[in-house]
Each structure stands twice: as structure tokens, then as C-alpha cells.
Amino acid sequence: MDLRFTPEENAFREEVRAFFRENLPKGLREKLVAGKHFGKQDLVEWTRILNAKGWAVPHWPTEWGGTGWDPVRQYIFLSELQSCPAPSPLPFGVNMVGPVLYTFGNEAQKKRFLPRIANLDDWWCQGFSEPGAGSDLAGLKTRAVREGDHYIVNGQKTWTTLGQHADWIFCLVRTDPAAKKQEGISFLLIDMKSPGITLRPIQTIDGGREVNEVFFDDVKVPAENLVGQENKGWDYAKFLLGNERMNIARVGMTKERLRRVRELASLERSGGIPLIEDRRFREKLAAVEIELKALEMTQLRVVAAERSREKGKPDPATSVLKIKGSELQQATTELLMDVVGPYALPYMSEHDDGPDLPNEPSPGPDWAAPIAPTYFNYRKVSIYGGSNEIQRQIIAKAILGL
């Protein structure tokens, strides 16, 4: 298999780089380079810039705003987006519910929701995990009972990322409690403004409040918001999670963070010797870079095989990408912790919606403040999208046949 890019593909890469260089707001890029968080309006503005170019949903079908790019160009675009660095469009809409809708939804749902997802007119969040049903997602207990032309939903979802901004939530709900747990689940679209929905923030270990609990108390949901067939939601969820795992690899983002590691490690420290001169540190850095190159080659093989994959069928190889990609993202935060050294703690949270903290100056340079919060936040990446332990089970069954 020849994994080299053609001259035409390299020219496309330069076109993408030039567009990002000329159109990404400078202040937004500076936030990302510094490891700081950006706000809702930052992402809305950038998504609409991409959408005006026709690049907000490049992997979608052309009739719904897609570019028609082959898998290689889609890979190049995503890699350059992450390496720039620039924000990815909101994944809950673009990479999760959007593909489910254009693959399994009806025409009315496609026309209603897909253009608004592409332009970020609607902010979506994910309603999958529950207390006691995270890694064992099929054990979910949120119920939806059909009453005439509505479902009545009761239950609770948790770890709902950015739910505080959301207009809509896509939910897995149990519609047949008598069936086997994977067979009695449906996929519902729920308006977050519906009476009976309560959202409560959860403060995370990094000091932020990006995740939430969502409670449903006799929430009426129009039956027309059912995606696909009743009790087939588990199939749609597996399809969605396959897309999520492909994107969790984040090769481009890890490349950019390693560039940042080298940049900061080259600065003089209080002792006068940059950390990059330390042989042990260079060995750790080189080991991560080698692993990243191997991951990139693996992702390119998955991309090359995508042309022959049956539509709507998840690729179990995405579990490999998810495991190694999440491990390398965590490894880069550990390298940054080595770089920041004693300035890691105490730290000042820079979340706009974070807790009130004492009005004290940071003890170190400005670039040091976000590093410890990022390290703590990235403990989660080996869990969401299906924990790495679950991914190993998928590999054992679907790839190795054990």
C-alpha cells in the first residue's frame, strides 16, 4: 500500500493551509496555541466562516453541504485544521448526530436539521451516558413511553459536554424494557427548551464546568423526532461512536502540541539550562514522536480502506485509533507538565465559566497557567467515546476473532 501523497494532494494541503492562515481570527488562534479555552461565540464565528467557504461539513454528502472530497482529502483537511491549530466544528452536530441523520433519518429530519447543524444555528449535545451506564452504555435506564403522537421521557443523563449551550440533545432511550438491553433502545432528538428538562453543571477536576447532568421529568417529545426505527437505536449509536473514535485520534492536534512542547522546553529555566538539553526528557519526547508517526500511518491505512467499507457499517479499526490517539494526547500533557515543572501548582483556572478563585497573580510565566488544568482535563480522553478497555474488547472480537 502506497501511503505517499500525490502532487495534487500536496497542492490541496497548501490550499487548506493558506485559507486557515488568511481567515482564522488571530485572537482565536492565539488562544489555542496557548492552550486556553475559547468561547461559544468564537466557535460560532469560525464555523460560519468555514460554512461560507463550503468546508464546515466536508465529509457529509454533497446534497447536504459536503465537499465531495475523497477520504484522503478529508484526512488532510482535518490534519491541517488540528495542526494550525484551529477549532474543529462542534463534534456533537457535525460528526455525531449529523451523520446519523443523513444516514438513517427521514427526509423531513434531514431538511429541518442538517443545514442548521452545518451553520451552527443549532448547538447539539449528547445524551448517552447515565449514572451506572457509562462504559456499559446498553445498561441505560432513561425511559421513553409512546403516548399517541408523543413519547414521554423520564430519566437522567450525565457528563453532557457543553449542555449549558445546547438547543437540542440527541438521546438514547429505552423504549422496550422487556427486550434484551441492546435491542430495546431508540434514538430520540429532544428540544432542550422542553418543559421538564433540568440541567445541572458538574465541576471537573481542572476547575471547569464543561459537563452537566440532565434530568427528564415527563418530557413530551414529538414522535416525529424518532430517528430511524423504534428499538434500533443501538445500531445507530454504534455507527455514531465509530465516527467519534475516528476523530478522537487527533493526530494533527498532537503534532501541534509536540511543537509547543519543543518550543517551551527550549526556553531558558531558572537554572539557565533549557529542558530540551536534558537527555532523559529528549528520550521521552522522541518516544512519543515515534508512536505518533505509527498512529499516523495506521490512520492513513484506515482512511485508504474507507472507500470499500459498507455504508453505515462501523469500522472496528477505529478502536485502535481511539486507544493510541487518546494515550498520545495524555502523553503530550505529561510532557508539558515536565516542562512547566514547579509552576504546575498552584494554578489559576482560566475558564470563563469556572469557579471563583482568589485574585492572586500566577507564580510563573503566562504560558504556564493552562498546563496543569489541561493535564487534569485530558485524563478523560481514554474514557469517553467508549473506554479504552471497551475498545480492546472490540478489537479482540471484531478484528482478532477471539
CA gap 372, 349 in Å, rounded: 9
Q: How many CB atoms lie within 10 A of CB 86?
A: 23
Residue 220 phi/psi, 5° resolution? -90, 125
CA gap 151, 169 in Å, rounded: 15
Of 159, 297, 169, nearest to 225 (Cα)? Answer: 169
Residue holding cell 514547579?
342
> What three-state secondary structure class fits 241?
helix
CA gap 22, 33 in Å, rounded: 17
Using CB atoms within 10 A of its CB, is residue 126 exposed (0-12), middle (13-18) or buried (19+)?
buried
For residue 103, give the H/E element and its range: helix 98-104
Q: How many CB atoms lie within 10 A of CB 190?
A: 24
Among this protein's residues, is 244 annotated catalytic?
Answer: yes
Active-site residue identified among 80, 210, 244, 296: 244
Of 378, 377, 370, 363, nearest to 349 (Cα)? Answer: 370
Provide the annotated active-site residues: 244
